[in-house]
Amino acid sequence: MKEYMEESVKRHIEENEEECAGKSVKTYMKMYGKHVLAWVLAFAVLTTAGVFWLRGGSREKEKIHIIFIPKVIDEDNDFWKLLIEGAQMAAAENQIELTIVATETENDCVGQNELIEWAIAQKPDAILLTPCSFTKTTPYAKKVKEQGIPLILVDSAVDEDIADTVITTDNVKLGEVEGNYMKQYVTEESQIAIIGHVEGSSTAIEREEGVRRGLGEYEDKIVDVVFCDSDYDKAYHLMMGLIEKYPDIDLVAGLNEYSAVGAARAIKEKELHDRIRVVGIDSSLEEIQLLEEGIFEIIVIQNPFKMGYLGVEAALKILNGEKVLRYIDAGCELINNESVYTEENQKLLFPFKEE
């Protein structure tokens, strides 16, 4: 740099002989030393800034990496299929690298907690999580935030306000819709059973609370609450056991697809649908068929595709420094045999998916 500056001064002297008469290069370097130093420092700062700008530019071009940990990946369950498809579509539209990992069953809380720790070690830009347990997942969800990783909870929550946002159905309202519907058919002799999915999960807790609220003064007609661990066969056998134990049972609420479908299969097999009214949650093809057959009285549908899509979208907004709501309700809708074919409900039952 010094040699370059000396050459520049020499050229200046040669081009301005009269003005520079009697002055040497050395003299000029002393005279303008401060200016030269300032110029050198400025050059160095600009060069360094340029390097950082180039590096920053390359960082911006790197793909955002998000890890999504749902409760389970189950190709036979439309809820989980649609939830994952929604997340995948949002990731594809925004050129986001999306990694999806899950345990084999919804109630494997220990396995999910291990996956959360694995995900943290990968240092992703954000983590989407559907907690298996309202309480047991909480310490591991905290670890995500402690590492400075944005956390988006999808479908289910934990017992502390940890996440950047929670995107879910209002699960109390979901159960309340079921309870309100059943209430009109309650008699003095009624016996009501609730078949839940995973005991201790936030969705099971809140939906049961909603059913009880909806039933109001008839809450005491609930004779049993059982849990199928989100297994169709277990729900079927539980329903068979309830029919035997309570011969006069006449109202049943299933709290998710597994529990509702399992119960409906048992009632269909026993040909008791004229006596036992079943209400369910979610919207698998089998549930819709059972609704058409009159096995289900109603189904209350969520929008899992929307939840998955909004989860990825919220993560992107957070990473871009945008504000997101702390709670986003994806909504629900009561569907009966008459309303199943309306255009609006068909969109909810069969959301558009790009190939």
Nearest C-alpha neighbor of 160 from the set 140, 183, 178, 187: 140
Q: How far apart are CA 55 and CA 284, in angstroms?
A: 48
Q: Which residues pair with 333 in a beta bridge?
A: 301
Q: Which of 29-43, 93-107, 265-279 has the lowest mean pLDDT?
A: 29-43
Mean pLDDT (whole number) for 71-93: 95
Cβ–Cβ contacts within 10 Å for residue 29, how many? 14
For residue 345, pLDDT beyond 90? no
Count of Cβ atoms closer than 10 Å to residue 180 Cβ: 16
351 band by pLDDT with thresholds 50, 70 and 90: low
**Where along the chain do its domains lie?**
2-61, 65-168+304-330, 171-301
pLDDT attached to residue 47: 43
| Greatest mean pLDDT range, 6-15, 33-42, 99-108 | 99-108
CATH placement of domain 171-301: 3.40.50.2300
Helices of type H across the chain: 2-15, 25-31, 33-61, 78-93, 109-121, 138-146, 171-183, 202-215, 232-245, 257-269, 285-292, 304-319, 343-349
Q: What is the pLDDT of residues 122-172, one digit of tens each?
A: 999 999 999 999 999 999 999 999 999 999 999 999 999 999 999 999 999
Residue range 183-202, pLDDT digits in tens: 999 999 999 999 999 999 99
CA distance 165 to 311: 9
Query: Could you give the C-alpha distances from 138 to 85, 163, 227, 255, in angstroms and in order?
Result: 26, 10, 22, 23
Q: Kindly report each contact of residues 351-355 with a partner whose C-beta sits within 8 Å and lies 24 or more positions away, as own/partner.
A: 351/82, 351/86, 351/303, 351/305, 351/306, 353/85, 353/89, 353/305, 354/89, 354/92
Q: Is the pLDDT of residue 44 over 50?
A: no
Instruction: Tell me the per-residue pLDDT of 255-270, one tens digit each, with 9 for 90 and over.
Output: 999 999 999 999 999 9
pLDDT of residue 300: 96
* Predicted pLDDT at 280: 97
Rounded Cα distance between 235 and 192, Å, is 16
**pLDDT band per the 50, 70, 90 thresholds, residue 307:** very high
- Residue with the bigger pLDDT between 175 and 56: it is 175
pLDDT tens figures, 215-232: 999 999 999 999 999 999
Task: Return d(Cα 93, Cα 95) in angstroms, integer.
Answer: 6
65-168+304-330 placed in CATH 3.40.50.300: no
Residue with tokens 């059943």: 182
Token pair of 283, please?
């919207």
pLDDT (average), residues 304-327: 96
Q: Is the dihedral of CA 160, 165, 171, 177 positive or negative?
A: positive
340, pLDDT greater than 90: no
Please name which of 171, 160, 180 lies closest in space to residue 198, comparing C-alpha atoms.
171
Query: What is residue 220's predicted lDDT score, i.e. its pLDDT?
Result: 97
Compute the average pLDDT of residues 272-296.
94
Domains 65-168+304-330 and 171-301 share a fold: yes
Mean pLDDT over each residue of the chain, to the nearest integer: 86
Burial class (CB in 10 A: 0-12, 13-18, 19+), 224: middle
pLDDT at residue number 224:
98
pTM of the model: 0.76
